[in-house]
Amino acid sequence: MCPVPTACGSVFALAASLGLSAFVHADTITLSSVKDATMIQDPTGEWALGAAYNFYAGRVGENAGGTFRRGLIQCDCSSIPAGSVITIVQLKLNMSNTQPGTFTVGIHKSTMDWGEGTSFAFGGGGAPATENDATWNYRFYPDVPWPTPGGSFVATASATKSIGAVGWYTFGSTYQLVSDVQDWVDHPETNMGWTVKGNETTLQSVKRFDAREAGATQPQLIVTFTPPPSNPADVNNDGAVNALDLTPMLAAWGTPNAAADIDNDGTVDARDLAMILAAWTG
């Protein structure tokens, strides 16, 4: 409760004139995967699952050679406004097929870009790799190999989860998952997604997860963030204060239009126009 209402009103008006938001609010959005794939361990890196309904993480059984699978997943964070502060990050994956057994699966920040081709198979053995598929040996088949077969990622997982029976699993929020997404919002060119690494010791530890191609059960990245404070003089809210803001202001001249009433005094007039000119960014 404000003891002196007029003083508080002035503070709010001042805050508005300085471009400060009177209320800090958080937004939450759910992003889906924009590409996902499986690195299937084989000596030549010829097998892939770029367009499959699933990706895999862990070690397959002896009959399948006891080899490893590692998932790759990337979400597009560009709908989070630049300058936002990320506060909560959760990655939800639907694990849809498994042998009995509970194993730890880790989400590791990928450090190099990779591709998703059109290879398709129902099983974890994969199909012959197509152009730009990520495979065990290539980040873009058949021309660009990984420096080390099996992908490039941060050794320490950003989040881990103990995964047993089929169902939805939520990774995070952890400090490192938040840090990964903050980094991608601040430097979008560094977003290479995550490598999903399962247990690589025990036979038949492999877990099958639904990829973006699965539709409703595809990965979900849930991000809560505080957007940067908006500038009240930016009437059309496009990030700049310029002539484009004058048009809606003049159209609202003499009215109580909230967007164009920059000093919040109940009418759109010359004082609001002066504030636009003072905040002009071009």
Residues forming contacts to Ca ion in the complex (CB under 5 A) are: 36, 116, 211, 234, 236, 238, 240, 245, 261, 263, 265, 272
Confirm if 67 and 58 have CB atoms less than 8 A apart.
no
In angstroms, what is the minimal distance from the CB of 279 to Ca ion? Answer: 10
Q: Is 57 helix (H, G, I), strand (E, B) or coil?
A: strand
Q: Which is nearer to Ca ion, 188 or 256 (CB)?
A: 256
* Spatial separation of the C-alpha atoms in residues 56 and 261, rounded to whole Å: 55
In angstroms, what is the minimal distance from the CB of 115 to Ca ion? Answer: 10
In angstroms, what is the minimal distance from the CB of 101 to Ca ion? Answer: 25
CA dihedral 224, 226, 231, 235 (to 10 degrees): 20
For residue 235, give the DSSP letter. Answer: T
Q: Which is nearer to Ca ion, 99 or 264 (CB)?
A: 264
* Spatial separation of the C-alpha atoms in residues 30 and 177, rounded to whole Å: 15
Q: Which is nearer to Ca ion, 27 or 238 (CB)?
A: 238
Residue 224 to residues 16, 34, 181, 187, 188, Cα–Cα distance (Å): 25, 19, 10, 18, 17
Q: Which is nearer to Ca ion, 206 or 262 (CB)?
A: 262
In angstroms, what is the minimal distance from the CB of 32 to Ca ion? Answer: 11
Confirm if 36 and 115 have CB atoms less than 8 A apart.
no
Q: Angle CA(245)–CA(251)–CA(254) in degrees, nearest 5?
A: 110
Other beta carbons within 10 angstroms of residue 30's beta carbon come to 11
Amino acid identity at 253: W
Q: Which is nearer to Ca ion, 182 or 218 (CB)?
A: 218
Chain centroid offset of residue 180 CA:
9
Q: Which is nearer to Ca ion, 188 or 239 (CB)?
A: 239
Other beta carbons within 10 angstroms of residue 43's beta carbon come to 9
In angstroms, what is the minimal distance from the CB of 162 to Ca ion? Answer: 25
In angstroms, what is the minimal distance from the CB of 9 to Ca ion? Answer: 13
Q: Which is nearer to Ca ion, 122 or 175 (CB)?
A: 122
Length reported for the chain: 282
In angstroms, what is the minimal distance from the CB of 256 to Ca ion? Answer: 9
